[in-house]
């Protein structure tokens, strides 16, 4: 039983940057249209995923008070002593991303240690109960964390999964049913914080990158509006552009599973994190995410048979794998490859890997 909820410090957003950054133009998906204007939303999504890759959703029904409360919980946890946070570390040797991740990796050839840390919490459902990191600190907050997770799933993820299916001219519940709330997946809520570095330290990093160009592992990543700059996307023109802060929104990017499912028609968005502008560089960069990962039994491969992909010549039944990689196998292998290593961005990481014939790319310096 959760204990009495203690008082924690409210989280207040830092001031926005005043520097004139080169921002990407993001598409917008207005979930106030769901479900009455599905066909209009499908066309909005078609533009968002094919022309932009990163986009925002608005009018989700999740209040700013709820979002800031989750930031406050994450901030309070990450303020705990390191020895306390280390009690339930991510098991990267087995590709498990649930628990606490400290900044242990050295970034490439810089000699600089990763300046980020995170807590990743699985869905609070019976099938994943054994994965929950049993911190005493979290006990009083379990109910509100679970409520928030479920709200994100029902108000944001479920409509998006249904829109993806409709975009592919598949039954509306094609993705949503397989990735329902109760289903075992590697989905997780993440509190993540970048700790400021000095200019001298960041100058040692290639392009002042805190996280090199990469794609995400799952279906989509949901990032609640981030006011401290640093996130950049790689445009189709091969330019890195900043993601703007849009109040009361969620930034969404498509990830590897959707790319595999559509033979690359829906691209897995390439992005990176760099040092914030100087008027924000002294501020801890706290982020709140929801990562949607493939269901454990999801067959990683082209969805069968999408009329859209058939018309484009992307779906050929005879080319489908006889033993497809499952969602659990792929996610655990991807996590292990990226995180079970002392150096991030070394040659072994950059060359990617192959799993049951599935070629997985892990490093992107350009769009090529």
Q: What is the pLDDT of residues 208-263, one digit of tens each?
A: 999 999 999 999 999 999 999 999 999 888 899 999 999 999 999 999 999 999 98
| Bond preceding residue 305 cis, omega within 30 of 0 | yes
What are the distances in angstroms from CA 231 to CA 18, 118, 189, 193?
16, 16, 19, 13
Beta strands per DSSP E along the chain: 27-30, 54-58, 99-101, 106-107, 116-122, 188-194, 209-214, 220-224, 231-234, 240-242, 249-254, 271-274, 285-292, 299-300, 325-326, 343-344, 353-355, 358-360
For residue 233, the SS3 value is strand
Contact 240, 254 (CB under 8 A): no
Task: Tell me the torsion sign for CA atoms 160, 162, 164, 166.
Answer: negative
Of 287, 203, 272, 205, the residue nearest 241 (C-alpha): 272
Task: Round to whole Å and give the CA distance between 126 and 257.
Answer: 24
Please give the distance of CA 336 from its chain centroid, rounded to a whole number.
16
**How confident is the model at residue 368, as a pLDDT?**
43
| Bond preceding residue 35 cis, omega within 30 of 0 | yes
**How confident is the model at residue 3, as a pLDDT?**
60
Query: Which residues contact residue 355 at a Cβ distance below 8 angstroms, ignoring those fewer than 6 apart?
Result: 325, 329, 330, 333
**How confident is the model at residue 301, as a pLDDT?**
82
| Residue with token string 């900044």 | 103
**How confident is the model at residue 96, as a pLDDT?**
98
Task: Round to whole Å and give the CA distance between 230 and 207.
Answer: 12
pTM for the full predicted model:
0.96
Task: Round to whole Å and give the CA distance between 298 and 326.
Answer: 5
Name the stretches of the chain with pLDDT < 70: 1-3, 52, 366-368
Task: Round to whole Å and give the CA distance between 89 and 87.
Answer: 6
- Cβ neighbours around 259 below 10 Å, total: 18
Task: Round to whole Å and give the CA distance between 231 and 287.
Answer: 11
Task: Round to whole Å and give the CA distance between 286 and 117.
Answer: 10
For residue 196, the SS3 value is coil
Phi, psi angles (nearest 5°) of residue 359: -85, 125
**How confident is the model at residue 1, as a pLDDT?**
46
- Cβ neighbours around 366 below 10 Å, total: 10
Of 304, 330, 326, the residue nearest 316 (C-alpha): 304
Listing DSSP states for 50-64 in one string gives IIISEEEEE--S--H
Task: Round to whole Å and give the CA distance between 347 and 74.
Answer: 33
């Amino acid at each position: 039983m959760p204990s009495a909820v203690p008082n924690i410090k409210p989280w207040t957003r830092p001031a926005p940057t005043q520097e004139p950054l080169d921002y990407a133009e993001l598409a917008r998906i207005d979930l106030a249209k769901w479900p009455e204007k599905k066909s209009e939303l499908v066309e909005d999504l078609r533009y968002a995923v094919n022309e932009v890759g990163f986009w925002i959703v608005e009018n989700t029904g999740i209040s700013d008070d709820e979002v800031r409360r989750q930031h406050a919980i994450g901030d309070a946890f990450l303020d705990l002593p390191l020895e306390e946070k280390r009690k339930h570390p991510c098991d990267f040797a087995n590709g498990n991303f649930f628990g606490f991740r400290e900044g242990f990796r050295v970034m490439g050839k810089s000699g600089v240690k990763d300046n980020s840390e995170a807590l990743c919490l699985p869905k609070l459902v019976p099938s994943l109960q054994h994965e929950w990191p049993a911190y005493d600190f979290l006990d009083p907050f379990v109910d509100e964390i679970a409520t928030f997770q479920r709200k994100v799933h029902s108000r944001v993820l479920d409509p998006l999964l249904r829109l993806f299916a409709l975009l592919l001219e598949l039954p509306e519940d094609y993705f949503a049913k397989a990735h329902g709330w109760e289903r075992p997946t590697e989905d997780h809520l993440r509190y993540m914080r970048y700790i400021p570095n000095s200019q001298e330290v960041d100058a040692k990093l290639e392009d002042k990158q805190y996280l090199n160009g990469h794609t995400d592992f799952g279906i989509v990543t949901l990032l609640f509006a981030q006011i401290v700059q640093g996130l950049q996307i790689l445009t189709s023109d091969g330019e890195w552009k900043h993601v703007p802060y849009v109040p009361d929104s969620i930034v969404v990017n498509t990830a590897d599973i959707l790319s595999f499912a559509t033979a690359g028609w829906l691209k897995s968005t390439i992005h990176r994190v760099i040092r914030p502008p100087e008027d924000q560089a002294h501020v801890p960069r706290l982020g709140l995410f929801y990562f949607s990962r493939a269901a454990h039994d999801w067959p990683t491969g082209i969805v069968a048979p999408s009329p859209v992909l058939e018309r484009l010549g992307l779906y050929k039944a005879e080319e489908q794998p006889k033993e497809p990689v499952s969602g659990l196998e792929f996610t655990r292998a991807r996590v292990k490859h990226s995180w079970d290593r002392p150096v991030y961005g070394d040659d072994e990481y950059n060359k990617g890997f192959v799993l049951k014939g599935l070629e997985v790319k892990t490093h992107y310096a350009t769009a090529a």
